[in-house]
Amino acid sequence: MGYFFEELTTALRDYVRRETLLYFAQWLTYHYKNSKGEGPEIYLKREDPNHGSTYKINNAIAQAMIAKWMGWNSILAGTRAVQHEVVIATTFVKLSLDCTIFMQSTDMEKQASNVLLMKHLRAEVESIDGTFKDGSSEAIRALMGNLETKYYLAEKTVGLHPCPSMVWSGSNALGLFHEFINDEDVRLIGVEAAGFELNSGKHAATLTR
């Protein structure tokens, strides 16, 4: 297992281009200072310099490498985040894995150029009717009939066990939180984007009732 983490660390450094920048937000810091010049110093953790211009490749490369190490040669994913779909396809090419992505039909029309790019990267893109949860459900259904050969790559930190359900999608926070969990001098605050409760329909919750 030690060799796996060495390989993952190398991929994150040389392929993903981590570690990413910590940027001092000068004007945002100034905005929140009071009349006495007191206030927090605000820093932004920059993930856009990553390969694929998104934090999403951190998740994709790690899960794809786990799948390959465990002997799966085909990956299933259900998503509507086009950046995630593209980095998934890019990652699979690097690791020589087959890839099937379930994507909402209207999103495929809106993102035709990215769908074409994914297909050039040898990803199979399946059109489905519905929302993100329907795409995830289709991917999981396809997995159930092929457990020996296929792996479900979760875009969000929600899905089959052991994927947890946590603050919003969670993937944004997991990488940052991980480094500070055991630091007693750092207080971690996760904010749930629940809006006006689940029954209102005005929320950003990952799961519906």
Separation between Cα atoms, residue 88 and residue 154, nearest integer Å: 11
Separation between Cα atoms, residue 49 and residue 61, nearest integer Å: 16
Choose from 53-62, 105-114, 156-165, 189-198 the range with maximum mean pLDDT: 105-114
Residue 45 in this model has a pLDDT that exceeds 60: yes
- Please give the span between the terminal C-alpha atoms of the chain, in angstroms, as a whole number: 38
Q: What is the pLDDT of residues 82-133, one digit of tens each?
A: 777 788 888 888 888 999 988 888 888 888 888 898 899 888 998 887 665 6
Q: Residue 208: what pLDDT? A: 53
Q: Residue 168: what pLDDT? A: 47
> How much of the chain exceeds pLDDT 90, in percent?
13
Delineate the domains of the chain, giving CATH numbers in brackets: 56-152 (3.40.50.1100), 156-209 (no CATH)
* Residue pair 180/192 in contact by the 8 Å Cβ criterion: no
Q: What is the pLDDT of residues 136-147, one digit of tens each?
A: 778 888 888 888
Mean pLDDT within 20-45: 91
* Residue pair 203/197 in contact by the 8 Å Cβ criterion: yes
Between 152 and 197, where is the model more confident?
152
Residues 6+ apart with CB under 8 A from 148: none
Separation between Cα atoms, residue 108 and residue 113, nearest integer Å: 9
Separation between Cα atoms, residue 138 and residue 149, nearest integer Å: 17
Mean pLDDT within 64-91: 83
Between 154 and 132, where is the model more confident?
154
Q: Residue 167: what pLDDT? A: 45
Q: pTM for the complete prediction?
A: 0.69
Separation between Cα atoms, residue 34 and residue 54, nearest integer Å: 34
